[in-house]
Amino acid sequence: MAAGNTYTQIASTTLGSTANTVTFSSIAATYTDLVLVINAQCQTSSGQGLYLQYNSDTATNYSSTVLYGNGSSALSTRTSSVVKAGIGNIDTSNYGTTIVNIQNYSNATTYKTAISRSNAPANYVLSYVSLWRATAAINSLTILLDTAPFNSGSTFNLYGITSA
């Protein structure tokens, strides 16, 4: 079999002004997995939690586990039966990068899991595992923060992974 592109860009957004959410919709079920790459900054005096909602689901169908480290301390915590899946944190002083791998997003028989890595340069690193307790294929993603909007210049890229 000839080698081909593994990652195919599905959508890309760069904010020209602040925004409370970013949504990718009409995601085709033609890939095995999704990769979401976020390089963002928020507009607030403190850091913000970064979250996903799938298919406009705002019910308490999400849970997340996070591992956190800042060079001098580490911790882990878990949330369950919440209205959005935790995937990272961002702050106001630096653009931070978050990479989210969403496995088997188009499978209509299993719950959906995501693994993400997030950082704010010189501040912290995070790793999340999140679960969406629904068997529907994912056809839209909404990216949001705790309370503050994303700053202008924040970028959001969605890729599909093609099976080998």
In contact, 22 and 142? CB cutoff 8 Å: yes
Separation of alpha carbons 6 and 109, rounded Å:
24
What are 75-91's pLDDT values in tens digits? 999 999 999 999 999 88
pLDDT in tens, 120-160: 767 788 999 999 999 999 999 999 999 989 999 999 999 99
Q: Give the burial string for 73-100 (b: 16+ CB within 10 Å, else e).
A: eeeeeeeeeeebbbbbbbbeeebbbbbb
* 141, two tokens: 């993603």
Model pLDDT, residue 19: 96
Per the CB < 8 A criterion, the answer to whether 26 and 63 are in contact is no
Name which residue leads in pLDDT, 47 or 121.
47
